[in-house]
Structure 1
Amino acid sequence: MTDTDLPNADAAAETASDEQAHAEPTHPWADLPPEHFRLLRLAPLQVDRHTGARPLRFVQLGRVERHSKEQSLLRLTIQLPGQRLRKEQNLLEVWIDHRSKEVRFGSDKGLQVEPPNRGLGRFLLAQGIAWARQHCAHYLVEGGALPAKDALSEDARARRDHCLQAQGFVVEYADPLQLKATYSAARVSALHSDWHTEKVQIVELLDAAAMLQQADHNLQEQDGKIRKLEERISLLKREDGSLRFTITCLVAFSLFQAGLLIWIATR
């Protein structure tokens, strides 16, 4: 390294330190992991031509909340068994600012739900709205812009708008092509905390245990039926083998008798 490289290295180090000094500090609640978990049942639905098959699935709902004099936070996450998601997927945050008396739902990146078209979007919003109404029903709702990537197709845009409008949000478009959309609401009390309970169901611990017990009972019954069928098939195979041997013997005897008769007739 030459002497001329030293000032450049010092300048780069100073620039990096200045950028770190001017960077916004991370909120202490930014990366809180879930603390409470519940089991969700996604009911089987008919195959959708846009989103594909929608079989029966079970997913995990994670929940964590924090409170202070200035702010309150609710973070909800949906975890899929055997599937890794991006950090921003299946995440809904509800921030309450007690100083300005406003509530913000989600982030600028929007609510990205996987699997889509299963009712999880409305479920997360309903849970967040119920929590906000419990703590600050009279607070204002901070509106925002909806990401254009959520409306890449007409079907996706319609599902997104229906999800928001069903929960009480107002969706407005600033252009005739319906690309630049915003959502808003007057107050938290104007929002709705219901969802499609026939699509997404909260499974309690005892109900989950009963389901497992019933599934184990059904498996044992199926095993018993399979064993009986296998024994029946083995018996039929043995009978079939005996019949085949008998038929073979009869055919051989018939051929012998026919040959004997022919031999007698020719003599």
Structure 2
Amino acid sequence: MSDHHIDLNADLGESFGQWTMGDDAAMLDIVSSANVACAFHAGDPLVLLRTLEQAFSRGVTVGAHVAYRDLAGFGRRYIDYAPEELRADVLYQLAAIDGMARTVGGEISYVKPHGALYNNAFTDDVQARAIAEAVASFDSGLVMLGLPGSQLLAQAEQSGLGTAVEAFADRAYNSDGTLASRREPGSVLSDPAEVSQRMVRLVTDGALPDRTGGEVRIDAASICTHGDSPGAVEMARAVRAELEAAGVTIASFAGKRGA
């Protein structure tokens, strides 16, 4: 019997008004952690509240999916924020999601930036520091989730926050361990069987194949299974089933701070 364990996370709560993004209810039956949109890149107050209720009722750990203020661009466009403005925007989002979480008997446990903010914080130490300082000033017990080797995690550690590394189930990797650009052919993987086998190897061996035929080493605490991609539920369900068949325990990296 394997003694390996891993967290499965997904980006949820991204519907807006009459516009539906993904199948949150189905994903919440699969994942152990939910990155819930804070209404800056997606979502609205009612969607946020309902997603929190559904997550906590299933025992799923909740993280704040903070983002640039960019509803029209789904948070995937870079914004050149002044650090103090970005810090304030992150604080605003944390206060909103945690305040709502407490009204339904829970708390947020971690933070994962979304989209362009997440990607930019990989190399931009100024924006990464603004995010980390905002999180630490709000609640130093929160954990920052991000890519290995990122400025985001480095600045989080310097701010006294706990950190956790994530890997992406449906993304191809470059030889340096970075994610292949979505603009490149083959950067997004769509075969549930292939993805599931890759994730079993990641958890049991700490390695993933890269685009050159080599491998990258990743000590991941969590696997992101995107909730808004085509076939997302099928893929996430296949990943979980294959991991459990290999004796891997699915459990949140951050635990539960309230329920």
Q: TM-score, normalised by structure 2?
A: 0.32
Higher Rg of the two aligned structures: 1
- Structure with greater helix percent: 1
- Structure with greater strand percent: 1
Q: TM-score, normalised by structure 1?
A: 0.31
Q: Using CA pairs below 8 Å that are at least 6 residues apart, which structure has the higher relative contact order?
A: 2
